[in-house]
């Protein structure tokens, strides 16, 4: 089904086919004719206002980091580029022989009161890593650059390049600036698991020096908000994004009951002005637990 070239694939500019973006995905990009006339710049401006902890300096790092991830890819576009306008690269759905797919979840979002986007978490038992290509897998991280235990160690084993990017991001900053922010790491071409890794900085440190449960929860909300905005920015830049999956963040080594993090995530709302032009996100996040 997915025949679109992965980003950075050799052979000239990428061609996006609208139908392929929408099928089975939590995100979709609307054809230009249906895009609302918001000013995308507003998204960037409001990032710092909405979050208690400014992520602006780190946004620049994120872009650099993601670009660095594909530094061996000649024509790869930078990721998380909310200011980048590549929507014209999207092929109008009317050009595509396949009918556009709308899941009930997507339609539901469009009917939401005042056009605001709400996040819904549904639970599944299974392996979070067994995800379709271009899915986003989210986990909680410390801000000192360690994926040394729990599911973070599994992320390190599955995505060694993503670990390097995460680690470098931490080394170039300080924990008190990172906590409450997020890092979206794009998949690299040629990797066996073509997944994004979504890092939520919910604690400055780990082990016995981890933050208190209340501080971890306080950081989780802006971190998740930051990540959702980065994901929508990724879509606005024309990237294909599949399922959004999350483990039971904070509930293992960070010792915060999952329900408390889940409630926070489900309380998130995004106004129309926070959703980039042309991007429709269903709001669905699938929480995976091994048993
Ligand atoms: N394969 C799998 N599939 C699906 N779910 C899986 C799984 N394996 C484990 N889980 C579950 O995933 C949840 C989170 O539990 P975790 O303890 O991992 O994460 P956390 O968010 O509480 O804490 C973050 C700190 O842990 C790390 O390790 P270090 O501090 O570096 O040593 C980081 O770097 C941070 O600092 C628990 O429900 C586990 O049952």
Instruction: Please count the other Cβ atoms lying within 10 Å of the Cβ belonging to residue 125.
Output: 9
> Does any ligand 1 atom lie closer than 6 A to the CB of residue 141?
yes
| pLDDT band at residue 270 using 50, 70 and 90 as cut-offs | very high
| Residue 137 CA, ligand 1 centroid: distance in Å | 12
> Does any ligand 1 atom lie closer than 6 A to the CB of residue 146?
yes
ipTM: 0.94
| Residue 24 CA, ligand 1 centroid: distance in Å | 27
Percentage of the residues of the chain whose pLDDT score is greater than 90: 56
Q: Note the pLDDT of residue 103.
A: 34
What is the separation, in whole angstroms, between the first and last Cα of the chain?
Answer: 30
Considering only residues 272 and 188, tell me which one the structure prediction assigns the higher pLDDT.
272
Cα 210 to chain centroid distance, Å, stands at: 24
Q: Whose CA is nearest to atom 39 of ligand 1?
A: 252
* Residue 191 reports pLDDT greater than 50: yes
> Does any ligand 1 atom lie closer than 6 A to the CB of residue 128?
yes
* pTM, full prediction: 0.70
Highest mean pLDDT among 7-11, 34-38, 279-283: 279-283
pLDDT in tens, 147-177: 999 999 999 999 999 999 999 999 999 999 9
* Residue 115 reports pLDDT greater than 80: no
Q: Note the pLDDT of residue 188.
A: 81
| pLDDT band at residue 86 using 50, 70 and 90 as cut-offs | very low
Pick the atom of ligand 1 nearest to 249's CA. 21
| Residue 148 CA, ligand 1 centroid: distance in Å | 10
Q: Note the pLDDT of residue 27.
A: 59
* Residue 3 reports pLDDT greater than 50: no
| Residue 44 CA, ligand 1 centroid: distance in Å | 31
pLDDT in tens, 212-263: 999 999 999 999 999 999 999 999 999 999 999 999 999 999 999 999 999 9
> Does any ligand 1 atom lie closer than 6 A to the CB of residue 202?
no
Comparing CA positions, the residue from 112, 122, 50 lying closest to residue 280 is 112
> Does any ligand 1 atom lie closer than 6 A to the CB of residue 257?
no
Q: Whose CA is nearest to atom 13 of ligand 1?
A: 248
* Residue 179 reports pLDDT greater than 60: yes
What are 120's strand-pairing partners?
A: 284
> Does any ligand 1 atom lie closer than 6 A to the CB of residue 251?
yes
* Residue 129 reports pLDDT greater than 90: yes
* Residue 268 reports pLDDT greater than 50: yes
What are 291's strand-pairing partners?
A: none
| CB contact set of 157 (below 8 Å; sequence gap of 6+) | none
Cα atoms found within 13 Å of the Cα of residue 98, Cβ hemisphere only: 14
Q: Note the pLDDT of residue 193.
A: 79
| pLDDT band at residue 71 using 50, 70 and 90 as cut-offs | very low
| pLDDT band at residue 100 using 50, 70 and 90 as cut-offs | very low
Mean pLDDT of the chain: 72
Q: Note the pLDDT of residue 114.
A: 47
* Residue 125 reports pLDDT greater than 80: yes
Q: What HEC string does the chain produce?
A: CCCCCCCCCCCCCCCEEHHHHHCCCCEEECCHHHCCCCCCHHHHHHHHHHCCCCCHHHHHHHHHHHHHHCCCCCCCCCCCCCCCCCHHHEECHHHCCCCCCCCHHHHHHHHCHHHCEECEEEEEECCCCCCCCCCEEEEEEECCCCCCCHHHHHHHHHCHHHHHHHHHHHHCCCHHHHCCCEEEECCCCCCCCCCEEEEEEEECCCHHHCCCHHHHHHHHHHHHHHHHHHHHHHHHCCCCCCCEEEECCCCCCCCCCHHHHHHHHHCCEECHHHCCCCEEECCEEEEEECC
Q: Note the pLDDT of residue 237.
A: 95
Least confident window among 58-62, 78-82, 168-172: 78-82
Domains of the chain: 16-289 (3.40.220.10)
> Does any ligand 1 atom lie closer than 6 A to the CB of residue 261?
no
Mean pLDDT for the stretch of residues 109-123: 70
> Does any ligand 1 atom lie closer than 6 A to the CB of residue 55?
no
pLDDT in tens, 17-46: 332 233 334 555 555 445 444 333 332 333
């Amino acid at each position: 089904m997915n025949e679109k070239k992965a980003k950075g694939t050799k052979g000239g500019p990428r061609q996006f086919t609208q139908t392929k973006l929408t099928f089975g995905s939590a995100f979709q990009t609307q054809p230009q004719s249906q895009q609302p006339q918001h000013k995308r710049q507003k998204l960037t401006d409001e990032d710092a206002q909405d979050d208690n902890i400014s992520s602006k300096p780190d946004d620049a790092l994120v872009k650099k980091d993601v670009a660095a991830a594909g530094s061996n890819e000649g024509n790869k576009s930078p990721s998380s580029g909310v200011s980048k306008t590549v929507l014209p690269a999207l092929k109008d759905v009317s050009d595509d022989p396949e009918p556009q797919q709308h899941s009930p979840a997507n339609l539901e979002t469009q009917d939401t009161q005042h056009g605001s986007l709400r996040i819904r978490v549904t639970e599944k038992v299974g392996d979070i890593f067994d995800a379709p290509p271009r899915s986003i897998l989210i986990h909680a991280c410390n801000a000192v650059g360690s994926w040394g235990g729990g599911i973070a160690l599994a992320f390190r084993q599955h995505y060694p390049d993503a670990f390097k990017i995460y680690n470098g991001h931490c080394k170039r900053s300080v924990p008190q600036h990172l906590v409450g922010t997020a890092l979206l790491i794009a998949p690299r071409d040629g990797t066996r698991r073509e997944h994004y890794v979504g890092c939520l900085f919910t604690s400055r440190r780990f082990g016995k020096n981890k933050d208190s449960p209340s501080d971890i929860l306080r950081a989780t909300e802006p971190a998740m908000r930051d990540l959702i905005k980065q994901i929508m920015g990724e879509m606005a830049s024309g990237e294909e994004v599949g399922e959004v999956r999350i483990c039971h963040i904070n509930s293992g080594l960070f010792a915060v009951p999952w329900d408390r993090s889940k409630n926070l995530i489900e309380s998130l709302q995004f106004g129309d002005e926070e959703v980039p032009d042309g991007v429709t996100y269903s709001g669905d996040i699938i929480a995976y637990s091994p048993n």
